[in-house]
């Protein structure tokens, strides 16, 4: 199977980890036997006309079985370039965004398969609407975590590699502080409340993120909404505690994992658990087995099944429901 993957979740100097999950999925698809070409273009309004032309050229020159776009606006570029069959995975911000969200929701009805990174994207969250669910043309297709890259390592070793104090009290806010939906203000309040240093992840490279997670006493996900919540999986894969609002997959991911929570933000309730982890010289949770539910290879296998079903529908063959 030959697939063209299109995305504008492209890393840059301000966000070197942006879209790594797309690249992890491409690698997992290739490992499963698919032939995948990735076209990744930068963010920005001026990039969309160029991307449409580039995708149109790739479609003329390449013999692709289907096109898979990640993120709503990249999906529009692929559709306007004439991509068919077209699968689009929506990741969260593209659906919930005040200005661009309606474009993603409109696109979901115009593609061969509208996929949400989590089931929660098909419903409202944080006061924002979710994706429509076209009958017979909707699926849940997460990208998954690379459990080879994210694994436990000695906390002292991680801190030494990053130049952090061996006995420091560290909480990790793993997102860019400038993204309002991530609610950095909550994480900062909590860190002050419990007397911790708050580490932030906006400029951390994907290659070094496992060290930062392992260096932290706990990882904070304080978001108003999440399309999936991959960092929670990555933290559990490192056996590092996660404190999260009940967004994306967090309620299912963290349920029953002692030392973690998925609850609305309450500084007193969160503070009790955060202090317990900060006072522990090496706080760990039994998270890796739970993280394996969302491993990249397993997610890629589901994506390949989705591709086969989309192609069967395109040729008039029977297909089964995916979502």
Residue 13 above 90 pLDDT? no
Q: Is 132 helix (H, G, I), strand (E, B) or coil?
A: coil
Q: pTM, whole model, 2 decimals?
A: 0.87
Q: Which of 209, 210, 190, 206 is nearest to 198 (CA)?
A: 190
DSSP state of 80: H
Under the banding of pLDDT at 50, 70 and 90, the label for residue 215 is very high
Give the whole-angstrom CA distance, residue 111 versus residue 119. Answer: 18
Under the banding of pLDDT at 50, 70 and 90, the label for residue 318 is low
C-alpha neighbours within 13 Å on the C-beta side of residue 225: 23
Q: What is the mean pLDDT of residues 192-219?
A: 94
Residue 240 above 70 pLDDT? yes
pLDDT of residue 105: 94
Q: What is the mean pLDDT of residues 155-159?
A: 97
Label residue 293 exposed, middle or buried (CB < 10 Å: 0-12, 13-18, 19+).
Answer: middle
Q: Strand pairing partners for 97?
A: none
Give the whole-angstrom CA distance, residue 198 versus residue 196. Answer: 6
Q: What is the mean pLDDT of residues 192-207?
A: 92
In tens, the pLDDT along 60-100 reads: 999 999 999 999 999 999 999 999 999 999 998 899 888 88
pLDDT of residue 322: 45
Residue 110 above 70 pLDDT? yes
Give the whole-angstrom CA distance, residue 5 versus residue 82. Answer: 14
Q: Retrieve residue 144's tokens.
A: 């998954």
Under the banding of pLDDT at 50, 70 and 90, the label for residue 314 is confident
Other beta carbons within 10 angstroms of residue 75's beta carbon come to 30
- Exposure string over 86-121, b if 16+ CB within 10 A, otherwise e: bbbbbbbbbbbbeebbebbbebbeebbbbbbbbebb
CA separation (Å) from 32 to 6, 19, 27, 100? Answer: 19, 20, 9, 34
Q: What is the mean pLDDT of residues 252-271?
A: 97
Give the whole-angstrom CA distance, residue 161 versus residue 323. Answer: 43
Domains of the chain with bracketed CATH = 2-144+295-314 (3.40.50.2000), 155-293 (3.40.50.2000)
Number of residues in the chain: 323
pLDDT of residue 164: 97
Q: How far apart are the first and last CA of the chain?
A: 22
Q: Which of 249, 276, 277, 250 is nearest to 263 (CA)?
A: 250
Under the banding of pLDDT at 50, 70 and 90, the label for residue 111 is very high
Residue 319 above 60 pLDDT? no
Residue 14 above 80 pLDDT? no
């Amino acid at each position: 199977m030959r697939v063209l993957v299109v995305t504008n979740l492209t890393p840059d100097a301000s966000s070197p980890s942006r879209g790594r999950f797309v690249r992890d999925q491409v690698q997992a698809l290739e490992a499963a036997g698919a032939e995948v070409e990735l076209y990744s273009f930068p963010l920005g309004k001026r990039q969309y006309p160029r991307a449409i032309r580039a995708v149109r050229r790739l479609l003329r020159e390449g013999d692709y079985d289907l096109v898979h776009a990640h993120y709503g606006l990249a999906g529009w570029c692929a559709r306007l370039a004439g991509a068919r069959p077209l699968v689009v995975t929506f990741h969260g911000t593209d659906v919930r965004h005040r200005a661009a969200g309606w474009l993603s929701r409109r696109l979901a009805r115009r593609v061969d398969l509208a996929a949400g990174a989590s089931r929660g994207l098909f419903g409202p969250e944080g006061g924002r609407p979710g994706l429509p669910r076209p009958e017979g043309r909707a699926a849940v297709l997460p990208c998954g975590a690379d459990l080879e890259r994210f694994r436990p390592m000695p906390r002292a070793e991680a801190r030494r590699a990053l130049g952090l104090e061996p006995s420091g009290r560290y909480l990790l806010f793993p997102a860019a502080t400038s993204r309002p939906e991530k609610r950095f203000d909550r994480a900062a309040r909590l860190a002050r409340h419990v007397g911790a240093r708050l580490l932030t992840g906006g400029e951390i490279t994907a290659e070094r993120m496992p060290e930062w997670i392992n260096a932290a006493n706990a990882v904070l996900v304080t978001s108003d909404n999440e399309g999936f919540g991959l960092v929670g999986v990555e933290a559990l894969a490192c056996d590092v505690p996660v404190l999260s609002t009940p967004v994306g997959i967090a309620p299912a991911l963290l349920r029953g994992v002692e030392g973690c929570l998925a609850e609305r933000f309450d500084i007193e309730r969160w503070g009790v658990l955060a202090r317990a982890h900060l006072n522990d010289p090496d706080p760990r949770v039994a998270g890796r087995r739970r993280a394996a539910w969302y491993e990249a290879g397993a997610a890629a296998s589901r994506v390949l099944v989705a591709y086969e079903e989309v192609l069967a529908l395109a040729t008039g063959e029977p297909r089964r429901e995916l979502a």
